Amino acid sequence: MSALGGPAQTGGVQPPTGMGLVLSIVLIIVALALAFFLVQMAGLIALVGIIVGGVLIAFGVHFVPVGGAPAAMGQAPGIATGVAMLAAGAGLAGLFGGAWAAPFGFAVALAGGAVGGGLLMAITCTMVNVIYVFGMGIPAASGKVAKDPITGDTFPEYKSQGTEGHGLPFISWVGGVIGGALGGLGGTLIYLELLDIYQAQLPVILNVTVEQIASVAISLAGIFAVGMFLMNAVLAAYNITGTIEGPHDPKFKRFPRAVIAAAAASAVAGIFAIALLGLVGVF
């Protein structure tokens, strides 16, 4: 019962099916209509924020250079870990910064989230190169392109025999930071939107002050942000089938598929998260 079929291994990028496209558009519209119907304008804005957040996460994952198992042997360029997990590490570190800055307003919190995610990736990517260069004596070389689009470095002569490249070329470093920043931005956006909703609704339902339910609102928004982050990151990881070198990788061109999928999935998960408190006390 091993590998019965699996993803079709054809050369080009398969476009989404017509049914898939129509379905995702219908789902997003229905979710937006429901959000407006249930929580009025605030709900609509919040859901738009959640969809944008999900899209940013899925798009950001495509920037993160991840080599998976071969990278741990210097057989392929990138960071030696799973793509969804590395993005989650960066995105959640961004969420940490964003949530901390939340009292200073929307823009500061979002920027704080983005910088937090980018900072984690900047330090991690630098340390990866430190290990490759000073621990293993291996220079960075991409396997997918011959020249670094930013610095113009050439790679084929720096690639050791029998491998697909190794280390993190500068373009992958930049990609990692952009990916981390987008992930942090998206995660923080989802968190802030949900936090607003819960902080507005919970005191009314329970007839208490905002301070008293602050921890409940923060926990709910936080755990939903984590859950939706992982859902979108895994969908994006399925799209790039495991490994990617960064924005110069041919696989990067697949991102529209993940963006559509993440938008629809976030819309559906988001509408349930927004409407969460609608039924409290009804039954």
Partner 1 sequence: MEEIVFGIGITALAGALATVAGAAEDTESDIGSQGDPNSQVQLAPQMGYIHRIFNKAVAGEPPAYGLWVALGAGLAWAFMAMQINPILAIVLGSALAVFVQGVYATTAYLGRTASLAKFGQPVYIDILKSMTTVTMAHAFVAIFTTVAMCHLMISALGHPFPLPLLGLVWGIALGAAGSATGNPFYGKERQYQEQKFGAGVPISASGNIVRYAEAGQRNSLDNGFFSAKLGGPASGICFGLIVFFELWRTVVFEELNIWGPIIVGIIVILVFAIIDRYIEVWARKTFGPYTAPEEASS
Partner 2 sequence: MSVKIEVGAGGIPHNQILIYGLVGSLVLIYLTYLNTITGTQYFAFFGGLAAVVALLWGTDTIKHLCSYGLGTGVPSAGMIALGSGVVGALFGATTGILAPIVAIIVAAIIGAVAGLMANNVVRMDIPVMIVSLIELAIVGAMTVLGLAAMACGTFEFLGMITGTVVILGFAVQTYEASVIGGSIIAVIFMLGAIAIQHSFNACLGPGEQQDRTLMLAAECGFLSMIPVAIISFAFIAFLPALVALLVSVIGWIYTYVQYIALSKRDAYAWLDAKPILEPKGGA
CA torsion through residues 192, 197, 198, 200, sign: positive
Quick one: 130 or 210, whose CB is closer to partner 2? 210
Torsion of CA 250, 256, 258, 262, to 10 degrees: 160
Spatial neighbors of 156 by CB under 8 A, at least 6 apart, are 141, 146
For the bound state, the minimum distance from the C-beta of residue 231 to partner 1, rounded and expressed in Å, comes to: 14
Q: Please report, as a single letter, which amino acid is at residue 51.
A: I
Helix, strand, coil tally for the chain in percent (to 5):
70, 0, 30
Beta bridge partners of 147: 154
Q: Which of 87, 227, 249, 252 binds partner 2 (CB under 8 A)?
A: 227
265 binds partner 2 (CB under 8 A): yes
For the bound state, the minimum distance from the C-beta of residue 146 to partner 1, rounded and expressed in Å, comes to: 12
16 binds partner 2 (CB under 8 A): yes
Quick one: 24 or 129, whose CB is closer to partner 1? 129
- Binds 72: which of partner 1, partner 2, none (CB < 5-8 Å by kind): partner 1
Per-residue x/- marks for partner 2, 55-94, CB under 8 A? -------------xxx----x------xxxx--x------
268 binds partner 2 (CB under 8 A): yes
Calpha distance 213→117 (Å, rounded): 28
Q: Which of 208, 210, 250, 253 binds partner 2 (CB under 8 A)?
A: 208
21 binds partner 2 (CB under 8 A): yes
For the bound state, the minimum distance from the C-beta of residue 117 to partner 2, rounded and expressed in Å, comes to: 18
Q: Which of 115, 178, 189, 231 binds partner 2 (CB under 8 A)?
A: 231
Considering only 5-13, 44-52, 94-102, 156-164, which stretch makes contact with partner 2 by CB under 8 A? 5-13
Calpha distance 58→240 (Å, rounded): 11
DSSP states along 186-223: HHHHHHHHHHHHHHHHHHHHHT--TTTTHHHHHHHHHH
For the bound state, the minimum distance from the C-beta of residue 80 to partner 1, rounded and expressed in Å, comes to: 4
224 binds partner 2 (CB under 8 A): yes
Q: Please report, as a single letter, which amino acid is at residue 6.
A: G
End-to-end CA distance of the chain: 47
Q: Which of 24, 129, 142, 172 binds partner 2 (CB under 8 A)?
A: 24
